[in-house]
């Protein structure tokens, strides 16, 4: 079937045939000598794809997905990448406004009449070891809405640019000669919820792969290590299984050399839950000593052969609010944080693991102990790197609708989304669930954030209720309730404000003080800034319920651009790409430049934050 374009604006359809979100664990065929996974189930599809770009969806090749399509107009494009970084369409940086403002008068869930479309084609063969197994197709990130086809048949549809989408393609895939087609629309109703302060891009910008699952597979795992006041730890493990054929075997798991368990498996056993296991003299997880224990899960068949092996790292910690203080492992937490966009000046939000490792080094190097993933879930590798490094994470849901309630710098929420409109509830709850289910096992995550600058209302309240029910062991954060006081008691565990001067914080803590105070964005690091930073640090000494904050932000958003006269490349900001609607150099807010060279402000951060966490 050709793409059903009603999906793009239908509030009841934000995914079709997409699998449920699950934990980010990786499964292997066996264990190597070092105790790591070996012989994976995964086939990466990154690299060169055939590509057709159409500036207007009404003129696109509607049947490009058919196997008899000639493809004579196709060019080549590298995946992952942004379409605009390959010379198609318009690079644009814009902050609060929507990219179509000034061109068309639209209201949610309408989309621009001129909607650019990217069509991708990729051929692949299955590895021999995958041929008799269930096959899953996975996209890590596609902006903003995609229709997927395989071998001429419709597979599914998905929105939500920054969380993975998976489809079961077992009944459509071949051993050889598969033709995968993906049609990506730049604008959809999801665009109303993805109005983050960043460059506006589109396309397949994170990795793509297929993976297979064996006859017995751990579909989802939930693991928790809760640190106790007496120095012990409580460990729990929950697993959910799927089966392809009749299966008999067993499950064996171990947590280092301190805990273990096993169970008999067959198709009647759909889940496993360990008892609460108390472990004495546990080593707690902390910024200074991020101790992690090796969890190993192995599924054996009836002949004793390994069917699946899963390694994972887990730490023991405890976060709570006590006497209006944010407490971590039963001690007051000083949040010395920074907001971080994913960024590379050569490729935009397409970043490598090497980029992430450099960011970890720089973040720890200036004594930051916490990161807010503004304003969407990052690539999954980021959270494991934070686990290893001891960086506490505020894990933000992919939601920002800034331009729907703030117009011309005034708060004007007459048609804000998601607001109280029940039509948007399922969409934002799905985004919350995707964020939680994917990342729930990462020890570094201490806050779930409901999103950014999306005002408030019943749908934001419902997101909070979801997180509190799904995970009572972590705190929930949301700043937008500041504009909607009626919801202050039922949306966020902390009082969160942006750019509040120290005196306003004092006034809150002295007159109200019913919740700990976090400045989720402060010290807007643009130009020669960060003056007065130490005044915020002084608040730690004045008020026990002041928990700290997150600098805006870590890295400049700027792109390399070639100067035609000299032939040299320079860092270009908003407005340097011929876009008619732009917020110009407002994207330059980092304590490091886009090329990751520290600015003078970086040294100020190192000195002030070092006063708290040395």
Question: Active-site residue numbers?
Answer: 453, 521
Q: Could you say which DSSP state residue 185 is in?
A: E
CA pair distance 144, 533, nearest whole angstrom: 37
* CA distance linking residue 394 with residue 442, whole number of Å: 11
**CA gap 390, 614 in Å, rounded:** 14
Identify the three-state secondary structure at position 394: strand
Strand partners, 597: none
Extended beta strands in 315-409, E state: 319-322, 325-328, 331-332, 335-339, 370-372, 392-396, 406-407
In order of 46, 74, 76, 179, the CA distances from 121 in angstroms are 12, 9, 10, 7
Comparing CA positions, the residue from 602, 554, 589, 594 lying closest to residue 572 is 594
Query: How far is residue 457 CA from its own chain's centroid?
Result: 23
- Continuous segment of H or E residues that includes residue 273: strand 271-273
CA 505 to chain centre: 30
Q: Which of 555, 556, 562 is nearest to 588 (CA)?
A: 556
Cα 167 from chain centroid (whole Å): 19
Q: Which distant-in-sequence residues (6+ apart) come within 8 Å of 109 by Cβ?
A: 9, 10, 11, 189, 192
Q: Prior bond to 65 cis, omega within 30?
A: no
Cα-to-chain-centroid distance, residue 105: 31
Measured between alpha carbons, how far is residue 357 from residues 103, 175, 391, 571, 590 in Å? 41, 37, 12, 22, 17
Q: Could you tell me which of 47, 28, 49 has the C-alpha nearest to residue 39?
A: 28
Do residues 163 and 377 lie in contact, with contact meaning Cβ atoms separated by under 8 Å? Answer: yes
């Amino acid at each position: 079937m050709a793409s059903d374009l009603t999906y793009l604006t239908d509030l009841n359809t934000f995914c079709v045939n997409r699998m449920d979100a699950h934990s980010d664990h990786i499964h292997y065929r066996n264990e190597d000598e070092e105790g790591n996974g070996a012989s994976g189930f995964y086939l990466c599809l990154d690299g060169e794809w055939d590509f057709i770009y159409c500036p207007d969806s009404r003129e696109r090749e509607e049947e490009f997905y058919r196997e008899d399509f000639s493809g004579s107009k196709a060019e080549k494009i590298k995946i992952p990448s942004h379409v605009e970084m390959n010379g198609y369409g318009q690079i644009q940086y814009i902050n609060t406004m929507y990219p179509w403002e000034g061109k068309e008068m639209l209201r949610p869930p309408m989309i621009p009449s001129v909607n650019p479309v990217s069509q991708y084609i990729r051929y692949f063969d299955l590895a021999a070891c995958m041929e008799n197994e269930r096959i899953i197709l996975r996209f890590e990130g596609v902006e903003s809405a995609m229709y997927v086809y395989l071998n001429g048949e419709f597979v599914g549809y998905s929105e939500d640019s920054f969380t993975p989408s998976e489809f079961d393609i077992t009944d459509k895939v071949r051993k050889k000669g598969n033709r995968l087609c993906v049609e990506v629309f730049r604008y959809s109703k999801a665009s109303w919820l993805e109005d983050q302060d960043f460059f506006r891009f589109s396309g397949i910008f994170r990795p793509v792969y297929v993976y297979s699952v064996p006859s017995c597979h751990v579909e989802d795992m939930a693991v928790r290590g809760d640190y106790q006041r007496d120095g012990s730890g409580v460990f729990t493990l929950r697993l959910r299984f799927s089966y392809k054929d009749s299966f008999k075997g067993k499950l064996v798991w171990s947590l280092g050399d301190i805990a273990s368990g096993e169970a008999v498996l067959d198709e009647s056993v759909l889940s496993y839950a360990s008892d609460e296991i108390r472990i004495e003299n546990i080593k707690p997880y902390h910024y200074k000593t991020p101790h992690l224990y090796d969890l190993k899960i192995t599924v054996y068949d009836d002949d004793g052969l390994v069917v699946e092996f899963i390694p994972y790292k887990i730490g023991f910690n405890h976060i709570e609010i006590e006497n209006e203080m944010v407490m971590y492992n039963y001690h007051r937490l000083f949040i010395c944080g920074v907001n971080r966009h994913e960024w590379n000046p050569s490729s935009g939000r397409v970043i490598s693991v090497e980029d992430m490792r450099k960011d970890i080094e720089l973040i720890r190097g200036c004594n930051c102990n916490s990161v807010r993933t503004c304003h969407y879930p990052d690539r999954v590798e980021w959270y494991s790197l934070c686990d290893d490094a001891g960086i506490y994470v505020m894990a933000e849901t992919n939601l920002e609708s800034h331009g729907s309630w703030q117009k011309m710098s005034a708060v004007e929420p007459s048609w804000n989304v998601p607001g109280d409109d029940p039509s948007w509830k399922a969409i934002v709850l799905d985004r919350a669930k995707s964020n939680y289910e994917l990342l729930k096992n990462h020890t570094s995550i201490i806050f779930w954030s409901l999103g950014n600058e999306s005002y408030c209302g019943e749908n934001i309240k419902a997101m909070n209720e979801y997180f509190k029910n799904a995970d009572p062991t972590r705190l929930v954060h949301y700043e937008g309730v500041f504009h909607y006081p009626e919801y202050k008691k039922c949306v966020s565990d902390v009082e969160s404000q942006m750019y509040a001067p120290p005196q306003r914080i004092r006034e809150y803590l002295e007159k109200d003080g019913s919740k700990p105070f976090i400045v989720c964005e402060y010290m807007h690091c643009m130009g020669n800034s960060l003056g007065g930073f130490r005044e915020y640090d002084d608040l730690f000494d004045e008020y026990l319920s002041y928990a700290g904050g997150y600098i805006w932000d870590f890295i400049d958003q700027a792109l390399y651009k070639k100067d035609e006269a000299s032939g040299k490349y320079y860092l270009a900001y908003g407005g340097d790409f011929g876009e008619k609607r732009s917020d110009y150099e407002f994207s330059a807010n980092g304590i490091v430049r886009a090329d990751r060279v520290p600015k003078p402000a970086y040294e100020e951060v190192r000195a002030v934050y070092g006063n708290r966490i040395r």
